[in-house]
Amino acid sequence: MTVAQAKAKNLPAGANLPFIYREYSAERLKLALHKMYLIRQFEEGAEESYMRGLIHGTMHLSIGQEASAMGICMPLTNDDQITSTHRGHGHCIAKGAEVSKMFAEFFGKTTGYCRGRGGSMHIADVTTGNLGANGIVGGGIPIAVGAALTAKRLKSDRVVISFFGDGANNEGAFHEALNMASLWKLPVIFVCENNGYGMSTSMARSTAVANVADRAAAYSMPGVIVDGNVLSEVAEASHEAVRRARLGEGPTLIESKTYRYRGHSKSDRNRYRTKEEIEDWMTNRDPIVRYENELMEFGIIDQAGIEAIREAVRKEIADGIEFAKASPSPEIRNLERYVYTETV
Amino acid sequence: MDQAVRELSYAQAIQEAMAIALESDERVFLMGEDIGVYGGAFQVTGDLVERFGADRVIDTPISELGGAGVAVGAAVTGLRPIFEFQFSDFATLAMEQIVNQAAKMRYMLGGAVSVPVVMRFPAGSGTGAAAQHSQSLEAWLGHVPGLKVIQPATPYDVKGMLLAAVADPDPVMIFEHKLLYKTKGPVPEGYYTVPIGKAEIRREGRDLTIVATSIMVHKALEAAKTLEAEGIDVEVVDLRTIRPMDKETVIESVKKTSRLLCVYEGVKTLGVGAEVSAMIAESEAFDFLDAPIVRLGGAETPIPYNPELEKATVPQVPDILAAVRSLATGSR
Ligand SMILES: Cc1ncc(C[n+]2csc(CCOP(=O)(O)OP(=O)(O)O)c2C)c(N)n1
Ligand SMILES: [Mg+2]
């Protein structure tokens, strides 16, 4: 229901607005748009740098999934923690990382978040609570449960989010971790970003239940399905799960249904899905376009405001790439640094 | 401060170390399968749950992979977990978390975190438990940069090394030979540490060096006694840590004796003995060798059930005696 419709029905102003418009200030809402753009343009910038040979290795882009990362992180503070995945650039930015240090990491520089040792697949920013992306499908899920065990034992108010994909829900680690988290009522939230495929293998071909969230019942926790391309829906589910977790009521499994526009990684020939399917998602369900339209409809921003955000992000990205290029590479003599903790 | 010294079993020494760690550091907690009221499959945790409560002596579900991951996550975020595997063989279910996560997290994140987790592995054959409950997989983990891997051989060492492991900022894997649990030895009361990465000369000798690990240290010492009567003076080096290895102590010993025998329970090839031998071959001690290096390790077979076959699978005292006798007289 729009503001105009609400008024027509004589409801109190904003009564039936989607969750985030009731919960957050206009500034926070604009910042969310800013960050969604930052995620998309960061990944476009990384992709371009890769094409130009400035970044080596591979990368997994989350273009099309921005609302999912952003919505989940909206109720979080820097003290809250996340574990992330190979498709983790969005999580990292949504949690608060600086794109300049992310670019520096992708360029393999000492100024990068992992001092050039991690790259895209292990991007992390511990200072904003990101314990790291993971090259192992499902690898971060038990680690998040361990972080939540710490939070509970130290009686902190912290919650921990574990992001993972639909493919990861068939790993043993997922099941072992959910069981323990529920058993011990830990403040952890499992967020499955279901983009329909684990590499080439669709949910239908890999998973015996229709929805990943259906598996929550097996572990006595709420299983919530949201449209991962609608920021407010994701944020609302996250908000409720965070509330539960902070109250000591235990974990929640959120399934955020979304879609990745790009191939799985740089090696994908896109043989397992149709152009029509991709185009449908891109033209009819894009999370940024949908969010922008809402913001404009509710009078929170206008076209000029959106253009200003885009421009600011463009500059941030360009500056970030320049910072990365200008940064020093690690010295070979420091190859074995950080294998063990240096004791001085 | 004088610390009273008593005779404790190896298992009691571990339990005492864990109790001291639990008492002195709020961050320390134990996790594992049936380590609470049951007391652990080998009664190592015993009644610690009664003293420290179920919040700090946590029974996990039978979930080695998940449990190890929880321990890693807790360690990264500020706690000091001691994770007990019921049998070292079950490390195979948790290799992902041990090898890909615990060992690499600090490196992958460019030093932004440490992973102070301790994992305990009851290991080895001799209990009739056959192929899936008797292995010695320490070399598997010894192959992984980022881990520290120790094999204490005495009650004194296991207490001190476990306390050193808890204080260590990095992941430490402790392989405890199951046949050692009941062996006794002097153990001081209270807190002390034995350094990780430092070998110990258990017996000084002139004629030949045996580098042994874990239970093989005791077999080597027993053999050395017999050999003394035959006029062969054996030096026994207890390696204690396989990663990082104390090269210096081994090299110095071999330079002195000019003969090297490696004795270890893990499968002979591609194991601890291969590393020690190669390390000597690459070092200045190589020129001191009077005879080819000899390795005595586990047979190239799974551990069999039949007790005679089981014994034949791993080096025994007569094997060591025979190897030393031939090596002591052999030449290049
Ligand atoms: C344990 C493990 N198995 C396989 C892979 C190879 N792999 C990397 S990503 C991926 C697909 C994961 O799918 P999903 O969990 O749905 O995440 P998405 O890529 O869709 O974001 C696979 C098979 C891996 N990295 N780790
Ligand atoms: Mg997927």
Give me the CATH number covering residue B284: 3.40.50.920
pLDDT at A14: 65
pLDDT level of residue A11 (50, 70, 90 thresholds): low
Write out the E strands in chain A. 81-83, 160-165, 188-194, 197-198, 201-202, 223-227, 252-257
pLDDT level of residue A258 (50, 70, 90 thresholds): very high
Ligand 1 atom index nearest CA of A171: 1
User: Which residues of chain A are within 8 Å of residue B114 when distances are taken between CB atoms?
Assistant: 341
Q: B209: buried, middle or exposed (CB in 10 Å: 19+, 13-18, 0-12)?
A: buried
B39 and B163 inside one domain: yes
Helix (H, G, I), strand (E, B) or coil at B150: strand
B313 and B230 inside one domain: yes
B121 and B238 inside one domain: no
* Nearest CA among B167, B171, B168, B133 for reference residue B149: B171
One-letter amino acid at B57 equals: V
User: Which residues of chain B are within 8 Å of residue A81 when distances are taken between CB atoms?
Assistant: 77
Read off the pLDDT of residues A293-331 as tens digits, 9 standing for 90 and up: 999 999 999 999 999 999 999 999 999 999 999 999 999
Answer yes or no: is B195 within a domain.
no
B214 and B319 inside one domain: yes
pLDDT at A13 over 70: no
Is cis: bond before A187, omega within 30 of 0?
Answer: no
> Given the DSSP bridges, would you call strands B234-238 and B200-203 parallel, antiparallel or unpaired?
antiparallel
B130 and B214 inside one domain: no
- Shortest CB distance from A117 goes to which of B108, B169, B170? B108
Question: How far is CA A216 from each of CA A72, A165, A169, A173, A193, rounded to the nearest angstrom?
Answer: 18, 15, 11, 14, 15
User: Which residues of chain B are within 8 Å of residue A251 when distances are taken between CB atoms?
Assistant: none
B214 and B140 inside one domain: no
pLDDT at A344 over 80: no
Answer yes or no: is B299 within a domain.
yes
Report which protein residue has its CA nearest ligand 1's atom 6.
A137
Domains and CATH numbers, chain A: 57-284 (3.40.50.970)
Q: Which ligand is nearest to the CA of A194?
A: 2
**Residues of chain B under the 70 pLDDT cut:** 1-2, 332
Ligand 1 atom index nearest CA of A194: 16
The rounded Å distance from CA A173 to ligand 1 centre is: 13
A80/chain B closest Cα distance in angstroms: 11
Q: B25 at the A interface (CB within 8 A)?
A: no
Neighbours of B137 (CB within 10 A): 21
Q: Are B61 and B25 in contact (CB under 8 A)?
A: no
* Pure H helices in B125-196: 138-142, 155-167
- Which chain B residues in 234-273 lie under 8 Å from chain A, judged by CB atoms? none
Q: Which domain holds residue B245?
A: 200-329
Which of B163, B188, B213 corresponds to the end of one domain?
B188
B186/chain A closest Cα distance in angstroms: 31
- Shortest CB distance from A173 goes to which of B61, B66, B77? B66
Cα(first)–Cα(last) distance of chain A, in Å?
Answer: 62
pLDDT level of residue A16 (50, 70, 90 thresholds): confident
Q: Which ligand is nearest to the CA of A121?
A: 1
Q: What is the token pair recorded at A48?
A: 């371009």
Q: Are B39 and A111 in contact (CB under 8 A)?
A: no
| Contact between chains at A83 and B73 (C-beta distance less than 8 A) | yes
Nearest CA in chain B to A82: B73
Neighbours of A269 (CB within 10 A): 8
pLDDT at A9: 52
Q: What total of structural domains would you count in chain B?
A: 2
| Contact between chains at A153 and B29 (C-beta distance less than 8 A) | yes
Which one of B60, B101, B105, B108 would you mutate to disrupt binding with A, by most A Cβ within 10 Å of its Cβ?
Answer: B108
If one compares A233 and B330, the residue with the highest pLDDT of the two is: A233
Question: CA-CA-CA-CA torsion for A211, A214, A215, A220, nearest 10 degrees?
Answer: 160
A13/chain B closest Cα distance in angstroms: 44
Read off the pLDDT of residues A154-182 as tens digits, 9 standing for 90 and up: 999 999 999 999 999 999 999 999 999 99
The rounded Å distance from CA A130 to ligand 1 centre is: 20
Which of B188, B210, B238 corresponds to the end of one domain?
B188
Q: B201 at the A interface (CB within 8 A)?
A: no
Phi–psi pair at A244, nearest 5 degrees: -55, -50
B228 flagged as catalytic: no
Which DSSP string do the residues of A182-234 spell out, in sequence order?
Answer: HHTT-SEEEEEEE-SEETTEEHHHH-SSS-GGGGGGGGTS-EEEEETT-HHHH
Answer yes or no: is B193 within a domain.
no
Q: Are B5 and B151 in contact (CB under 8 A)?
A: no
B84 and B155 inside one domain: yes
One-letter amino acid at A242 equals: V
pLDDT at A50 over 70: yes
Report which protein residue has its CA nearest ligand 1's atom 12.
A198
B54 and B151 inside one domain: yes
**Angle B85-A179-A177 (CA atoms, 0-180°, nearest 5)?**
65
Nearest CA in chain A to B71: A146
CATH number, domain at B66?
3.40.50.970
pTM, whole model, 2 decimals?
0.94
Q: B96 at the A interface (CB within 8 A)?
A: yes
Question: CA-CA-CA-CA torsion for B229, B234, B240, B246, nearest 10 degrees?
Answer: 170
Neighbours of B74 (CB within 10 A): 29
Report which protein residue has its CA nearest ligand 1's atom 3.
A137
pLDDT at A6: 47
B223 and B319 inside one domain: yes
Read off the pLDDT of residues B241-275 as tens digits, 9 standing for 90 and up: 999 999 999 999 999 999 999 999 999 999 999 99
Question: How far is CA A85 from each of CA A183, A262, B155, rounded to the nearest angstrom?
Answer: 25, 16, 43
One-letter amino acid at A55 equals: I
Under DSSP, the state recorded for A329 is P
Answer yes or no: is B215 within a domain.
yes
What's CA A75's distance to the chain center, in Å? 13
Ligand 1 atom index nearest CA of A193: 21
Answer yes or no: is B216 within a domain.
yes
Please state the rounded mean pLDDT for residues A239-259: 98
B87 and B133 inside one domain: yes
- Shortest CB distance from A177 goes to which of B69, B75, B113? B69
Answer yes or no: is B14 within a domain.
yes
Which of B156, B188, B220 corresponds to the end of one domain?
B188
Q: Which ligand is nearest to the CA of A86?
A: 1
pLDDT at B330: 77
How far apart CA A155 and CA B25 sit, in angstroms, is 16
The rounded Å distance from CA A168 to ligand 1 centre is: 7
Ligand 1 atom index nearest CA of A60: 19
Question: Edge-to-edge, what's the strand order for the sheet holding B260-267?
Answer: B200-203, B234-238, B208-212, B260-267, B294-298
B110 and B259 inside one domain: no
Active-site residue (options: B16, B33, B84, B133)? B133
User: Which residues of chain A are within 8 Å of residue B108 when distances are taken between CB atoms?
Assistant: 114, 117-118, 122, 124, 132
Active-site residue (options: B33, B64, B200, B265)? B64
pLDDT at A266: 83
How far apart CA B314 and CA B296 sit, in angstroms, is 8
Q: B60 at the A interface (CB within 8 A)?
A: yes
| Contact between chains at B69 and A135 (C-beta distance less than 8 A) | no
One-letter amino acid at A282 equals: M
| Contact between chains at B78 and A150 (C-beta distance less than 8 A) | yes
How far apart CA B18 and CA A343 sit, in angstroms, is 23
pLDDT at A1: 43
Q: Of A63, A122, A141, A199, which is best to mutate to test ligand 1, by the most ligand atoms within 8 angstroms of its C-beta?
A: A199
Report the percent of chain A where pLDDT is more than 70. 95
Answer yes or no: is B244 within a domain.
yes
pLDDT at A3 over 90: no
Buried b / exposed e over A20-55, threshold 16 CB at 10 Å, is bbebbeeeebbbbbbbbbbbbbbbebbbebbeeebb
Q: Are B32 and B62 in contact (CB under 8 A)?
A: no
Q: What is the token pair recorded at A34?
A: 């800013």
Q: Is B275 left (phi over 0), alpha (psi -120 to 50) or beta?
A: alpha
Cα(first)–Cα(last) distance of chain B, in Å?
Answer: 52
Q: Are A132 and A86 in contact (CB under 8 A)?
A: no
Read off the pLDDT of residues A110-123 as tens digits, 9 standing for 90 and up: 999 999 999 999 99
Q: What is the mean pLDDT of chain A?
A: 95
pLDDT level of residue A343 (50, 70, 90 thresholds): confident
- Shortest CB distance from B70 goes to which of A81, A117, A145? A145
How far apart CA A195 and CA A90 sit, in angstroms, is 14
What's CA B330's distance to the chain center, in Å? 31
Nearest CA in chain A to B95: A139
Answer yes or no: is B194 within a domain.
no
Ligand 1 atom index nearest CA of A195: 20
Which DSSP string do the residues of A56-69 spell out, in sequence order?
Answer: -S-----TT-HHHH
B58 and B138 inside one domain: yes
Helix (H, G, I), strand (E, B) or coil at B80: strand
B133 flagged as catalytic: yes
Write out the E strands in chain B. 5-9, 28-32, 57-59, 80-84, 118-123, 148-150, 172-177, 184-188, 200-203, 208-212, 234-238, 241-243, 260-267, 294-298
User: Which residues of chain B are within 8 Å of residue A175 when distances are taken between CB atoms?
Assistant: 66
Q: What is the token pair recorded at B141?
A: 């983990």
